[in-house]
Amino acid sequence: MPNTGKSTLFNRLTGASARVGNWPGVTVDLLGAKILLGAHMVEAVDLPGVYDLHGFTEDELVVRHFLENNPVDVVAIILNSSQIEHQISLALQAKQLGLPAVLFLNMRDEADQMGIRIDTRRMSEQLGMPVLSLSAKYGQGFAEAKNMLTSMLAISESRPGLDDLRTRLAPDDQIERQMHAVLSRSVMLPTLLPESFTARLDRVLLHPWLGLPIFFGVMYLLFQGIFFLGAPLQKGVGWLLGLVSQHVLEPIFSSSPVWLHGLLIDGIYNGVGTVASFVPIIVLFFLFMAVVEDTGYLSRAAFLMDSLMSRLGLDGRSFVMLLMGFGCNVPALMGTRVMRSRALRLLTMLVIPFSLCSARLQVFIFITAALFSPSRAPLVLFSLYLMSFATAIFTALIFKRKFRNTEPFVLELPPFRLPTARQLWLRGWQEVRHFLHRATKFIISGVVLVWALTHLPPGVAEASAQSFAGHLGNLLSPLLNPLGIHQQLAIALIFGFVAKEIVIGALAVIFGMQGTALVGQLAHSMDWTQAYSFMLFTLIYTPCLSTIATMKSESRSNLYTVGSVAWSLALAWTVSFVFYQSAKALGY
C-alpha cells in the first residue's frame, strides 16, 4: 500500500544495490536488486504501492500486469499497522489468488501509540500466510523479516504468472466480510462501543436540528462540571499556599532585608502561587477535553458545524481546531497540519488565537470572581466565550476572500470509543508538567521582572508613577485611558504578551498581596465596566509568545505572523473602546 514505509524497507533489504530495470508486461521501470537470502540469490522488485489488485489506477495496473506476466517466489505485502482496518484487504486478495505471500505490518510504533494491538499469530492462521509486525523507521523486526523471507523461499515454489488474475478476484463484498472476520479475531482496537450503540447515539447526537443544541448543551455542562469540581480544589490550594507563606516563609525571611523579603514573598511566591492555584481547574479542563476528543465526539462536531463553517470560508475541522484552542492555542495551530490547502490553513490559523484558551480563562475567573456576584460571574464568563466566537467569526468573514479555500472536505467518522484511564491519566499529568515547564520558563521570570519594574528605581513607592512601571504606564496611557484600563494594569498587559498566566501573577505583584486581599483590592480599584473592558482587551489583544512563535513556524511567513498580531491588537483596541465608551455613555 502507498505510504506504508515500503521503500524504507526495500532500501534496508537491498542496501545500495538497487537498479532500475524493465519487466515483461510492464511499461514503467521498476527498481530491482539482487540480494542473498539464506542460500538463495534472489531478485527483489519494488512494486508501486496500491490499495488493491483490480487495476483501476496506473499503479494498480503496473502491479497487476507484473503479477500476470512474471513468475514470483514470494510477494511481501507491506501495510501500515495503524490503518490495518482498511488495508487488510490487500492481503486477503493475495490469499485468494494463491500468491505465496508474507505480510509485514509496518509502523508498529504508531499502532502502539494509538492503542491498536495485533495478534500476528492468529492473523497468520486466518490468512494462511506468515505475518510479522515491525517498524522500519526504528529498525525493529528487520532481522526477523529477512529470516521470514528466507524460510518462505525455502518452501515455496516459483509461481507462474497469473494470466486471469482479474477474474479470479472475489467480489468486494466477500472480501469485506472476510476483512471483518479477520479483524475481529486478531486485532484489538481501543475499546469500541458496540456498533448498534454508536448508531443509536449518532441518531440523537447528529440529528439535523437537535445535534447542534445538544452539542453546545454538553459543552456547557462540561464547563459547569469543571467549576463545580475545580472551585473547591482551587480554594484548597490557595489555603495551603497561604499557610506555607504564613508559617514557614514569613518566619524565615522576617529578618532578611526588605527588598529580599519583597522579591521572594511578594514577588515570586505570591505571583507564582496565584497562578499555581489554578492548576487543578486547568487539569480538570484538559481531562474533560480529552474525554470529548477521545470518545469521537469532536469529529461529530465537525460534521454538525461544517455547513456553517463553509459560509465563513472554513470547514468542520477548523471548528474542531477552534475548540481545541480553548485548551491551548499552540496544539490547535499545529493541528491545522491535516489541512492540505494552504489558504484554508492560514485562515484557520488566523482565527485560532481568538479561542479563549485556558490561560486566559484563569485571568477571567480571577477578575470575574473579584468584581461580579457569584450569580453573575458565570454569565460574564459565558459572554466572554461568546465574544471569543464572535471575534473569530468576524475575522474569518473579513479575510475569507483573501484566503479562498477549495479543499475537499472528506473525513473519517470514528465509532464512539471509551477513553482508557491510562490515556486520561497521561493527559492530566502532561498538563501538570506543562504548567511546571511554563512556570519555570516564563512565569517566574515574568513576575520577577514585574516586581523589579514596579519597585525600581530604589526608594519609590510600590507601582507608583515614579517607578519604571509607572513611566511605562504613563507612556501607554493615551492608548489605554480611552479603554478604561488603569495605568497600573498596563504592565500586566505587557507581560501578558509573554504568557497570560503572568497577568494574574503580575496583578498579585502590582498590588503586593494575594488571595482574598488581592481580590478585595481589585474590586476596590476598578468598576465593572473597566474590568470588563480589561478582560475584552486581554481576550483579543494578542495570543501568548508561544502561540506567535508556533504561528510563525507553521506559516513560515513573517508577514503573515506580524499581520495576524497587528490585526488582533487593532481589533482588541476597537472592541474595548466601543464597549467602554458606550457603557460610559449609557451611564454605567
The answer to whether 2 contacts another protein (rule: CB under 8 A) is yes
User: Maximum Cα–Cα distance for the chain, whole Å?
Assistant: 95
Binding span for another protein by CB under 8 A among 175-183, 327-335, 393-401, 502-510:
175-183
Beta pairing, strands 75-80 & 40-46: unpaired
Give 147 or 307: the residue with its C-beta nearer to another protein.
307
Among 39, 258, 412, 556, binds another protein (CB under 8 A): 412
State the Cα–Cα distance between residues 230 and 220, nearest whole angstrom: 15
Is 258 in contact with 451 (CB distance < 8 Å)? no
The answer to whether 409 contacts another protein (rule: CB under 8 A) is yes
The answer to whether 413 contacts another protein (rule: CB under 8 A) is yes
**Closest of 551, 541, 544 to residue 333, by C-alpha:** 551
Is 35 in contact with 61 (CB distance < 8 Å)? no
Give 172 or 527: the residue with its C-beta nearer to another protein.
172
CB neighbour list of residue 234: distance below 8 Å, 6 or more residues apart: 277, 278, 280, 281
If DSSP codes are grouped into helix, strand and coil, which group holds residue 146? helix
How far lies 59's CA from each of 66, 94, 147, 444, in Å? 11, 16, 29, 58
E strand or H helix that includes residue 56:
none
State the nearest-atom distance from the C-beta of 57 to another protein, in Å: 7
State the nearest-atom distance from the C-beta of 515 to another protein, in Å: 49
CB neighbour list of residue 27: distance below 8 Å, 6 or more residues apart: 62
Among 17, 22, 27, 57, binds another protein (CB under 8 A): 57
Give 218 or 231: the residue with its C-beta nearer to another protein.
218
What does the CA dihedral 496, 500, 504, 505 come to, rounded to 10 degrees?
Answer: -80
The answer to whether 110 contacts another protein (rule: CB under 8 A) is no
Q: Which parts of 500-559 interact with another protein (CB under 8 A)? A: none
Give how many residues touch another protein by CB under 8 A. Answer: 39
Please, which residues bridge with residue 41 across strands?
36
The answer to whether 157 contacts another protein (rule: CB under 8 A) is no
Q: Exposure of 164 by Cβ count < 10 A (0-12 exposed, 13-18 middle, 19+ buried)? A: exposed
State the nearest-atom distance from the C-beta of 446 to another protein, in Å: 43
The answer to whether 417 contacts another protein (rule: CB under 8 A) is no
Give 54 or 486: the residue with its C-beta nearer to another protein.
54
Is 65 in contact with 56 (CB distance < 8 Å)? no
Q: Which parts of 196-225 interact with another protein (CB under 8 A)? A: 202, 206, 208-209, 211
Q: Which amino acid type is present at position 306?
A: D
Task: Give the angle subtended at the CA of 53 by the CAs of 49 and 57, to the nearest 5°.
Answer: 65
Is 134 in contact with 162 (CB distance < 8 Å)? no
Provide the H-helix boundaries in 277-327. Answer: 279-295, 297-311, 316-327
- Each residue 328-367 as x (binds another protein by CB under 8 A) or -, in order, gives ------------x---------------------------
Q: Which parts of 298-327 interact with another protein (CB under 8 A)? A: 299, 302-304, 306-308, 310, 315-316
Q: Which residue matches cell numbers 501607554?
A: 476
**Closest of 9, 213, 175 to residue 87, by C-alpha:** 175
The answer to whether 176 contacts another protein (rule: CB under 8 A) is yes
The answer to whether 179 contacts another protein (rule: CB under 8 A) is yes
Q: Which parts of 35-54 interact with another protein (CB under 8 A)? A: 51-52, 54
CB atoms within 10 A of CB 396: 22
Give 29 or 172: the residue with its C-beta nearer to another protein.
172
State the nearest-atom distance from the C-beta of 216 to another protein, in Å: 15
State the nearest-atom distance from the C-beta of 52 to another protein, in Å: 7
State the nearest-atom distance from the C-beta of 51 to another protein, in Å: 5
Is 464 in contact with 470 (CB distance < 8 Å)? yes
Q: Which parts of 264-303 interact with another protein (CB under 8 A)? A: 299, 302-303
State the nearest-atom distance from the C-beta of 348 to another protein, in Å: 16
State the nearest-atom distance from the C-beta of 413 to another protein, in Å: 4
Among 15, 408, 457, 458, binds another protein (CB under 8 A): 408
The answer to whether 181 contacts another protein (rule: CB under 8 A) is no
Give 2 or 21: the residue with its C-beta nearer to another protein.
2
- Where do contacts with another protein occur on this chain (CB under 8 A)? 2-3, 51-52, 54, 56-57, 83, 85-86, 172-173, 176, 179-180, 202, 206, 208-209, 211, 299, 302-304, 306-308, 310, 315-316, 340, 408-415
